[in-house]
Structures are given as structure tokens and as C-alpha cells.
Homo-oligomer: A and B are copies of this chain.
């Protein structure tokens, strides 16, 4: 199949087969279908289901300027060095752009352009009725289906988006940088609830020790119980590739804890529940929209006004028509 036809194809079996053989364009096309809530998505999900459920999902969030892209880049390098295949989803909760159009994406693409074991893709959820919460896990499924052992989800730490991303990840990293007031912001945003690992990036800067102490103090205050995971705090200087091994070690430690405590399956079931619920809610909202715009209502209303049909029976008929 030619490049152009893969890019435009909606032939699901062909796309899934190509993606599983490592065709980057097929993977990109499938993520685009996810972004746009394409009618073919259920078929895509059905074809991918048997190939999913085993990848490690890592979330990475933080305020603008803390070094998320650079850190992601170095993590990808370290994971590839272990011989594992890795996919990156850069999720922008607000941007109208997508499909690899953002600058950071293209820069990073160049770093790993010749490596067929890396997929990098930015995505938005503007076209997806279920929003970020429904779209992102479908994109994770695409990357898993394409053979990724690890999927990194990167998102800017604003509002609800980072909470949603954290709920999708096995392990969530929260990046901070010294002197940005992040520690205080973090408490405000309730970030302690979502962070499994705090990464103090740019740790060569003034104030790194103060930030470290702030975070440790915050963790001590927020500690829940003996059986709970105690968030790790590590330091890095991502643009000099320093401290990345410590980040990887903290992720591995958390992963082992999850498995030892039966939490991995619990997290994944909670994630699947959120995913199914978001799809179902999106579908119900679409039905409400069709109700308002539909043509069936006036005809039913005329029968009700004439006393030939009661309004509950009419509503049932209307909803049955939407359920198909």
C-alpha cells in the first residue's frame, strides 16, 4: 500500500496489520482516527483488544518551563537502551493543533527519527465527544497494539487534564524546577494526590535544595498510612542527561510496589472503568444532541397533540430511534 493510501485509509484491518508490523504512518493514521472520534473507532478497539493490557503506562506532567520535553526525550533514550520499544503521547488539553504539528514534537522527532522502536505523537481531543478521558486511552491502545512496551503520556500541568492523565498511568511523574514556586502551587493543585514520583529537574540551579526540602516536608505532612506508597523525590538535569537513571530507578521501584501490593491490576481496572464510562457518556451526550436536532420529534409531537399517542410512549419511540 502506498504512503498516501495508508495516510487516508479507513480500512481498519489493513491499518491495524500495518501498525503491528511497525508502520509509523499506520500508527499515526490510527491516532488521528482516535482524535477525531471516527466512526471506525469501535472496530479499531475491537481489533486491538487482544494485543493490549501489558504495556507500562507512565504519565509525566508539570508546569510550562520545567523541562518536560527534554526529560521525556532522555527517558525515551534510556528505555530504548534497555531494548524496550516506547511510544510517546504529548497530550495538549487545550490546543486546537494536533497531528504532530507542534514544534516540540518535530524537534524530538529528529532525535529519534531513525529509530523504528520509537513513536512520538502529539494529540488533542478537540474532535472527541468523550474528551481527553476517552480519547487518550484509545491512543494508548494504538501504541500498545503497535508493539510498544512502554507508553509515556506527557501533558502540561493545568487543571483537570493532569488528573485525568494520572488516572490513566501506572506511574505518574510530576516535574518541578527550583525557584518557580512549584512546590506551593503543587500543594494548591492537590498534586500530591497524583504524584508517584517527584522529579526536581534543573537541579543544578539555585534553590534546588529548598525545593527538595519543601516537597519532602509536604510528603511527610500528607502521609496517609503504612501500607501506602510514599512518593519518591529525585533530582535531574535533563538537558545534560544527568539523573535520568535515578528517575528510571524510581519508576521501577514504584512498578514493583504496585505489583507486590496488587495495585497494578486495581489501577488498570479503574482506568478501564473510566474509559468505558467516558465512551458511554459521550454516546449518551451524542444522543441528547440528536434529540435536539432530529426530525423524528415533530412527527411524534403531532401524534401526541392529536391524542393518538401518549408523551411517554413518544419519548420511548424517540429514544429507541436514537439507540441504533
Contacts and interface: CB of A to CB of B under 8 A. Distances in A.
A208 interface: no
Contact of A304 (B276, B288, B308): B276
A167 B316 CA distance: 22
Contact of A297 (B268, B273, B300, B323): B273
Interface stretch (A44-52, A106-114, A223-231, A252-260): A44-52
A305 B271 contact: yes
Contacts of A300: 272-273, 276
A270 interface: yes
Given A41-B312, A311-B45, A313-B46, A277 B304 contact: no
Contacts of A272: 300-302, 304-305, 311, 314
Contact residue range for chain A? Answer: 35 or more
A277 B291 contact: yes
B46 A312 contact: yes
Interface stretch (A79-87, A90-98, A120-128, A278-286): A278-286
Given A53-B305, A269-B298, A311 B281 contact: no
A159 interface: no
Contact of A279 (B52, B308, B311): B311
A319 interface: yes
A308 to B, nearest CB: 7
A59 interface: no
A52 B41 CA distance: 46
A262 interface: no
Contact of A280 (B51, B279, B318): B318
Contacts of A220: none
Contacts of A308: 49
Given A306-B53, A312-B45, A301 B273 contact: yes
A178 interface: no
Interface string A15-55: 00000000000000000000000000110011011111110
Contact of A307 (B53, B273, B287, B314): B53
A276 B288 contact: no
A8 interface: no
Nearest to A307: B53
Smallest CB-CB A-B distances: 8 pairs: A273-B301, A42-B312, A53-B307, A272-B304, A49-B310, A279-B315, A45-B310, A272-B301
24 contacts: A45-B310, A45-B311, A49-B304, A49-B310, A51-B307, A52-B307, A53-B305, A53-B307, A269-B298, A269-B302, A272-B302, A273-B298, A275-B301, A276-B304, A276-B314, A277-B291, A277-B292, A279-B312, A280-B291, A281-B291, A283-B319, A284-B288, A284-B319, A319-B323
